[in-house]
Structure 1
């Protein structure tokens, strides 16, 4: 990636962050703010998609689209990670499908480690005991 592409990515990400956080200013005229918010959100989505198109090979983008159909949150997590890598300059070339698979595996392994298992003990005053008449 050259400097101009990175600069475009940075600008688009800045617009996205402004849209998510309201940009600090915000309008106070009721109905118009809803339309402005929707327009900003749409612009942020378009900028995000443009950035992803710049950093993904077509095959990788296609795979990510298929993942989005099945698990949208996972696709969003992967997109966020890819955009972060691009913004920090850690991506030197477009991401291939094989690299995307590796990233998916790493994220899946990370999510498995984060699972929390809750085991509950039965209390001494369990209502099921009332059903047993001997």
Structure 2
């Protein structure tokens, strides 16, 4: 696909999204399940536009092992996309960096305490106690 075709597809998609948003605003609050489903579709569309295929595959593999981390990455990417901070599609390397950052944050929040015992003179493990 060349750039003109991609721009035409993007323009058609944006027109469709605007039309859906306009019809959703005039309908008001219908059923309780409808807004959540629309939001989920919009969420999926944002992710599809913001991630490369390799990044989507990586995220799906992460979802199999750690679903909460995959969901956190998705929420982060959606926030970036909706705020306009994404200038290009995110690749697998960027997803790995985001995952590393999440792992560091989780590790900091866990607050592990490490005990380190200092050796003193004559404090040997093999002091002949069992001889």
The list of structure 1 runs, each at least 4 consecutive aligned residues, that deviate by more than 4 angstroms after superposition, is none
Quote the Cα distance in structure 2 between the aligned partners of 1:92 and 1:73: 26
Q: TM-score scaled to structure 1, two decimals?
A: 0.59
Query: What do residues 5-38 of structure 1 show as CA deviations (whole Å, max 9, x unaligned)?
Result: 8xx6xx79xx7xxxxxxxxx757xxxxxxxx222
Q: Does 1:46 align with 2:26?
A: no
Larger Rg: 2
How far the C-alpha of 1:65 sits from its partner, in A, is 1.3
Quote the Cα distance in structure 2 between the aligned partners of 1:43 and 1:26: 12
- Structure 2 match to 1:113: 108
Q: CA RMSD in A?
A: 2.9
Q: Does 1:72 align with 2:58?
A: no
How many residues align structurally? Answer: 94
Q: TM-score scaled to structure 2, two decimals?
A: 0.60
Quote the Cα distance in structure 1 between the aligned partners of 2:105 and 2:45: 28
| Runs of at least 5 residues in structure 1 that lack an aligned partner in the other structure | 16-24, 28-35, 119-134
| Runs of at least 5 residues in structure 2 that lack an aligned partner in the other structure | 1-6, 22-27, 114-131
Give the one of 40, 57, 62 matched to 2:52: 57
